[in-house]
Amino acid sequence: MSPRTIVGLVLLAIGSLLIGWYGGRWGFSVFESTVPPGMVTPLVRSATKGAYFTSGLVLGALVFGWTVLAAWLSPYFRGGKSGAPSVAPAK
C-alpha cells in the first residue's frame, strides 16, 4: 500500500468514528431529554451513556467498513468498453 492510501484510510477511520461518536452523543441526549430525571438512577444513567457511546463507535466502524468496501468494489461497476462513451469525441 502506498503512503497516500494509508493516510486516506486513517483519515476515513477518524472521520467515521467521529460520526459514530456524535451519533451516540445525540442518542444519549435524546434519552436524557425524554426520560424524567426521577426515573433514572446514577447507575442506569452511566450504563446508558456507555451503551450509547459504544453503539455510536460501532456505527462508526460500520460506516468505515461500508465505505472501504464501496471504494474497493467501485472499479468493478464502472462503465467498460461495451457501454456508451463517457466523454463525447472531439471534433
Instruction: Please answer whether residues 63 and 20 qualify as being in contact, where contact means their C-beta atoms are separated by less than 8 angstroms.
Output: yes
Residue 89 lies in a domain: no
Residue 48 lies in a domain: yes
Count of domains forming the chain: 1
Domain that residue 42 falls in: 3-75
User: For the segment 28-82, what is each residue's pLDDT rounded down to a tens digit?
Assistant: 999 999 999 888 999 999 999 999 999 999 999 999 999 999 988 888 888 766 5
Determine the Cα–Cα distance for residues 50 and 44; give it in Å rounded to an integer: 10
Residue 87 lies in a domain: no
Query: In terms of pTM, does the model score above 0.75?
Result: no
Residue 71 lies in a domain: yes
CA distances from 22 to 28, 30, 34, 54, 60 (A): 10, 12, 18, 11, 9
Instruction: Please answer whether residues 28 and 66 qualify as being in contact, where contact means their C-beta atoms are separated by less than 8 angstroms.
Output: no
Instruction: Please answer whether residues 53 and 21 qualify as being in contact, where contact means their C-beta atoms are separated by less than 8 angstroms.
Output: yes
